[in-house]
């Protein structure tokens, strides 16, 4: 994460250190979600802020378009269901701590 290394406001970051339990809609069991990054920084008001960041291709950040029920389509729907469950759990985890959860895509990283 070159961005973190180059920003003076970032005083700490780590990779896959935060583990969040989530319930999978596929098997109805609890699993562990390893969020990609934890970033701690000072904002312009010198207030400490914490972001949990997931990096995903843009195409994986929205549900698949409804189409013929092929094996690939069913796999995409299942993957979306799991990701959605993970992200909802992460949003709640962050809300409980007054942190922020962000999903970044190639559109964000290529700016």
Pairing type for strands 30-34 and 19-23 reads: antiparallel
What pLDDT, on the 0 to 100 scale, is given for residue 64? 92
Token pair 């189409």: residue: 67
* CA atoms of 110 and 34, how far apart (whole Å): 24
| Three-state DSSP state, 71 | helix
Total-model pTM: 0.89
User: Where do the domains of the chain lie?
Assistant: 2-106
- In tens digits, the chain (111 residues) has pLDDT values of 777 888 889 999 999 999 999 999 999 999 999 999 999 999 999 999 999 999 999 999 999 998 889 999 999 999 999 999 999 999 999 999 999 999 999 888 876
What pLDDT, on the 0 to 100 scale, is given for residue 5? 87
Q: Are 10 and 16 in contact (CB under 8 A)?
A: no
* CA atoms of 72 and 51, how far apart (whole Å): 33
What pLDDT, on the 0 to 100 scale, is given for residue 92? 98
């Amino acid at each position: 994460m070159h961005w973190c290394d180059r920003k003076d406001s970032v005083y700490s970051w780590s990779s896959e250190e935060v583990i969040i339990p989530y319930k999978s809609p596929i098997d109805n069991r609890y699993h562990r979600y390893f969020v990609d990054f934890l970033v701690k920084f000072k904002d312009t008001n010198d207030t400490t802020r914490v972001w949990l960041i997931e990096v995903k291709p843009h195409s994986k950040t929205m549900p698949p378009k409804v189409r013929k029920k092929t094996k690939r389509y069913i796999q995409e729907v299942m993957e979306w269901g799991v990701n959605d469950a993970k992200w909802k759990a992460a949003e709640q985890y962050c809300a409980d701590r007054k942190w922020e959860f962000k999903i970044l895509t190639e559109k964000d990283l290529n700016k």
